[in-house]
Structure 1
C-alpha cells in the first residue's frame, strides 16, 4: 500500500454513500457474498480505495459503482452521488419484479371461499395435468 493513500472499510463506504440503509445491512451483504470489490468477494473489513470497482448484487439486478472519493461518515444524497461513478445497468421494470399479494392487516386467516379462490389463481399458472 502506498503511503498517503486513503482507505476505508467497504461496509462503511457502502453505507456512507447511501447504497444501503444501515451499516449492519452493508456488513451482512458482504458476509452473504453480495459485495465484490474489483471482482473478488470481500468481507466487511476489506479496504476500499479511490478507483476500485464495487459491485452490489440486488434481487433482480446488480449495482456497479467506481469509487471516486473516500468518505468515512454518512453524507447527504447530493454529496453521496459525487463520491462514485454509477456504471449500473438500468433496474428492471416494476412489472417484471414478482409482486406478492398482501392481505389487509387484521383480516385474519382466509375463509374457505377465499382459499378456493386463491387455489384457482395458483392453478392458472400451472400447466394442465393429464387425468
Structure 2
C-alpha cells in the first residue's frame, strides 16, 4: 500500500505514505486499513483522506519506480467527486485588485484596500482622515 501511494505521487515520501496508511486515513473498498503493508489489487477503490480533501482512486496499475507525474497518473483512475457548489446566497469575496507592476502598496493604499474589502458599517470611513485619505 505505502509503495503504491508513493509511486502514484499521492504523498511526497514513502514515510508519509506509511504514516497515512497506518494512521487510518486510507480505506480499501470501504474497509479501513491499519497497516502500511496491505496488499492491493487491480480494481480496488482507495478512499484517502488528506488535510483539506478526500481522494477516491481506483487502482489501474502498479509501478516499478516513482516516475514523473504523467507516468504516475497511469496507475490510477480518479473517481473523486467534484467539489460542492458554493452555498446559495453566499456573497462573493470582494477583492481589491492592483495594477501589475505597481510595486508595494503604501500605507494609504493598504487603508483603501482594507476599506474596500471590509463589510460596510455605519461610519466605516470615520477612521480615515478627511482630505488626505478619502477613497476616490
Which TM-score tier does this pair reach, normalised by the shorter chain? 0.5 to 0.7
Match of 2:73 among 81, 85, 95: 81
Match of 2:10 in 1: 19
| Larger relative contact order, structure 1 or 2 (CA cutoff 8 Å, min sep 6) | 1
Write out per-residue CA displacement over residues 64-90 of structure 1, whole angstroms, 9 at most, x where no aligned residue: 000011113212100111111001123
What runs of 5+ residues in structure 1 fail to find an aligned partner? 1-9, 94-131
Alignment of 1:98-117 (within 5 A): none
Are 1:33 and 2:41 counterparts? no
- Report the TM-score when normalising by structure 2: 0.57
Give me the whole-angstrom Cα distance separating, in 2, the residues matched to 1:91 and 1:32: 25
Pairwise CA RMSD: 1.7
Superposition TM-score, scaled by structure 1 size: 0.59
Whose strand proportion is higher, 1 or 2?
Answer: 1
Q: Please identify, of 68-77 and 19-28, the stretch whose mean Cα deviation from structure 2 is larger.
A: 68-77
Number of aligned residue pairs: give it: 84
